[in-house]
Amino acid sequence: MSPKIDAILLSLTLEEKISLLAGKNFWETVPIPSKGIPSIKTSDGPNGARGEVFNGGTRAACFPSAVCSAATWNLDLSKQIGSALAEETLTKGARVLLGPTMCNHRHPLGGRNFESFSEDPLLAGKLAAQVVIGLQEKGVAATIKHFAANEQETERLSVDELIPERALREIYMKPFEIAIKEANPWAVMTAYNKVNGIHADSHPLLLQKALRGEWGWNGLVMSDWGGTNSTVDSLNAGLDLEMPGPTRHRSAKTVSEAVEKGLVIKATIDDRTRNVLEFIEKVGGFDNPDIPPEKSVDDPAHRKLIREVAGQGLVLLKNENGILPLQKEQIKGKKVALLGLAKEALIHGGGSASLHSHYRISPWDGLHSAFGECVEFKYAKGAHTYRQLPPMINNTISLDGRPGWTMEYFEHGKTENPIKVTHAYKDASLSPLFDDCAKWNDLHLSTTLIPDETGSHYLSCSGMGPTVVSINDKVIFEQKGNSEDSMAFLLGGVTEKEFTFPFAKGESYEIHIRSSPPGGTDDIGGILEGRPGFRLGFMNQQEHDEDLLSKAVEVARDCDVAIVFTGHTPVWETEGQDQSGFNLPKDGSQDRLVDAVSSVNSRVIVVNSTGVAVAMPWLSKVSAIIQAWFPGQEAGNAIADVLSGAVNPSGKLPVSFPKRIEDAPAYGNFPGAKKDGQLTVKYDEGVFVGYRHYDRLAQKKVQFPFGFGLSYTSFSLKDGRVAQPSHNAFQATISVFNTGQRAGATVVQLYIGRSQKSPEHPIKTLAAFKKVFLEAGQHQVVELLVLLKEFAYFDEASGSWTVDKGRYDFSFGQSTTHIESVITVDIEGTRQLKL
């Protein structure tokens, strides 16, 4: 600790120390100007520095999602991403980025999987560590999150996850352990959920025994936003900073009383305060205390990096008869159908990962840039993919005669004398974070709708709290309770029931919405407490019932090649809720599109943008598939690069793609079951997550295996060797050959497992990897250093990492099912490793 921190700490009163242990507001820490303590600002993360406004704020660079960058298997690119994210963070006046997110992909329906790297803890930890290094080399704090086991969004604030310690250590804590030991992040964010009955923000094993004890880490522990669940327990366990502010659990009165009663000792308050002060010092807050205004800096170097990462992250899953790449000279003068989500840039998922990007390149834009006028592109959407009807906005007149709505704020429970009136409000929706004036108030929204078409038009409604909608004084919708999922409501992912109402063109309809704040304690830990929110969706009958599929089939029939763009828009894959199903939304519309197009065109290419594995019932009917993930603001250009052959695909799957959701390892234990109001999920699969599970199945249950990815060239691995230069390390070497006709890259993957199979242990575990770039005909000898810890298991009986004596197979491959060289090594004597 520096003398400066020593002096400041000695100067603080108990009340001042307590004030530092929770945020000032949504993004900033508490300053104490009289003691020279500044406020520092944080920003979401993890694929861009959004700034303080959730929707439509300062523009920012949108980087590929973590699962896309993980598909590159490129450590150098991860470090470059961290460096660029640091530069972006500083443009938002922030010194702390809330990322990277690094929880494991336990189940394909995890709503936030896209924001994390992989199902494999080694791959996730190694890549995250490089992001951390890149960030902190430029003075911006990384905040690795969410510690630990935040693998689902369903009831994430209270779900109790029953996890055996071995699985907890080997799968869910290991990525964090790797990042801690290799990169020393300056901050760790705790998870919302409980682990074995104890909330993560006050968990002794996570925060005391492992993080600060065994791992020897000394940094700042902050809560997730609204994720502080206690006063005494969280302070004693090691939670330094409650976010956001103002505090709910750490008022001067509450904490002082706890100290007086001996529930929290003063030394603990000093420790928590010291960590906050040292954190401010690490990010340069004392040297430069100002928080500058946010600005948008569209850096060409960031553009280039985003496009490169996306290009290396796209995974070619199928390429029948070499249909790809679509080279200019081969398709010049031909007609190409761009179908589905071709005009939508699916650059990020929903929630903390969303931001107002500098720009968004759609596949339509990217392919036109790549091919110019040498190809005739034809477009048809082909499928309805919206999750909610758009808010009612057109043909509305507010009470003062202007277009829009009139919004009135009333003291809760009272309907006379509004506190505030706003005319010409834009549409029939209100985000619960939009206006602090609305907190604890009832809101009334009124308009006169004059439709421009006659028909039984469609409406849909939802509210944060009790909400009533009437047309011409007739109630058409009533929600009596709170939203079932308040975070999903905030992020636009609540599925609303649609219904129709008969409207006549030119007639006037008086529409009123009455919405109250959520009642009781059904909020998300205080972030949305007392905040009303509502929406009224509207779509005319003709648009709603339009037959999009037939038009797409006609276009595909008339074209030489059909490219169908499928995927999840941010409301379908988002923080706040898990996936609605394994098939692409909506209601099978995208699957029907691919199937119908394949029936009239034999040259169909599917480009899928999701952060998770999805069902592909049409797999055998299409010629090629590219998994594009959420590739950032350069999405369309990166996709065009791979389709055209300007970039040779080198992405490898960081997650397994099962054939059926029933074959997933956590199936039946996701998202859990309720008993006496408590959602509990059993991690009965133990350490057999992802490929560790699929390896054990007799029948082929996996559609595309972990580590898989095709190229426009070919590679082979030969002459594997393993030496043991020290007691705890092995040196593995393999020769990699580019046996094809063009330059490209592959990933050498080294897996280790017992030669004598055991039902208690995975058949093999990823222990090392390296991406290799080779010219056509070139070869290279790759060296991989492997420590015993990389394939040790956690022995619960002894509480230690253990490698049993015996024979072990060192398997070199290009995926878990494409193993090309196996070397057997004898390990003499059981070895227990230091924690």
Q: Which positions are catalytic?
A: 224
Residue 789 tokens read as 């810890």
Collapse the DSSP code of 520 into the 3-class scheme (helix H, G, I; strand E, B; otherwise coil) and give the result.
Answer: coil
Collapse the DSSP code of 527 into the 3-class scheme (helix H, G, I; strand E, B; otherwise coil) and give the result.
Answer: coil
Pairing, β 441-449 against β 405-411: antiparallel
For 823, list phi and psi in degrees, rounded to 5: -115, 130
Query: CB count, 10 Å around CB of 219?
Result: 22
Residue 424 tokens read as 């010409």
Residue 833 tokens read as 């490793």
105 neighbors 149 (Cβ within 8 angstroms): no
**204 backbone φψ class: left, alpha, beta (φ>0; ψ -120 to 50):** alpha
DSSP state of 689: -
756 neighbors 773 (Cβ within 8 angstroms): no
- Would you give the end-to-end CA distance of the chain in angstroms? 25
219 neighbors 275 (Cβ within 8 angstroms): yes
**Cα angle for residues 51, 52, 55 (degrees, 5° grid):** 90
Task: State how far the Cα of 349 lies from the Cα of 570, in Å rounded to an integer.
Answer: 5
Beta bridge partners of 405: 425
Of 313, 347, 320, whose CA–CA distance to 652 is shortest?
313
Exposure of 230 by Cβ count < 10 A (0-12 exposed, 13-18 middle, 19+ buried)? middle
For 507, list phi and psi in degrees, rounded to 5: -80, 155
Q: Which residue has the tokens 């034809």?
A: 378
Beta bridge partners of 732: 722, 784
Note the helical H segments in 425-504.
Answer: 486-490
Of 442, 444, 429, whose CA–CA distance to 489 is shortest?
429
563 neighbors 607 (Cβ within 8 angstroms): yes
CA distances from 350 to 353, 488, 611 (A): 6, 10, 11
Residues near 355 by beta carbon (within 8 Å), at least 6 away in sequence: 44, 48, 49, 50, 51, 57, 60, 62, 348
Query: CB count, 10 Å around CB of 730?
Result: 25
DSSP string, 125-152: HHHHHHHHHHHHTTTPEEEEEEETT---
833 neighbors 800 (Cβ within 8 angstroms): yes
Task: State how far the Cα of 646 lies from the Cα of 173, in Å rounded to an integer.
Answer: 39
Query: CB count, 10 Å around CB of 297?
Result: 15
Residue 616 tokens read as 């592909």
584 neighbors 567 (Cβ within 8 angstroms): yes
